[in-house]
Amino acid sequence: MLKRQKVIKIKNSKLREIRLNLRKILMNYFYDQESMLQALWLGAKGDEEISLLRKLEDFRQNYHDSILVCGICSKLDGDRVFIPSHKCWYCTDCLKKSLIPSLRKLKNIDS
């Protein structure tokens, strides 16, 4: 896990397109795995049901906190900023719109 605030920007349009396509592939993989886990959970009983529910919740949280989607708007494309205290990635559009709570250090992301 990163310990410092970090902005990841790609300016080249071809590379941006490749990045978006990779994110789409990973998102589809996530939804496939989530569906499989949910089916297992719905068929389980007792301790196994609780264990699978925790696994499903962790899985969803890890996806939400990952670089694939913005932690606020859930947008798949675009540049990202990582906020260590939040342990989450956000899109730079949400940063520019000041939608990320409790941020003061990252003012100039265009440099």
What is residue 80's three-state secondary structure? strand
* CA angle 31–33–34, rounded 5-degree value: 60
Query: Residue 53 and residue 29: Cα distance in Å, rounded?
Result: 19
Closest to Zn ion by CB, 20 vs 72, is: 72
Q: Which residue is nearest to Zn ion (CB)?
A: 70
Least distance (Å) from Zn ion to the CB of residue 88?
11
Residues that bind Zn ion (CB under 5 A): 70, 72-73, 75, 91, 94
Least distance (Å) from Zn ion to the CB of residue 101?
13
Least distance (Å) from Zn ion to the CB of residue 33?
23
Q: What are phi and psi of 68, to 5 degrees?
A: -65, -45
Closest to Zn ion by CB, 56 vs 76, is: 76
Buried b (16+ CB within 10 A) or exposed e, 78-106: bbbbbbeeeebbbbbebbeeeebeebeee
Closest to Zn ion by CB, 37 vs 80, is: 80
Closest to Zn ion by CB, 52 vs 94, is: 94
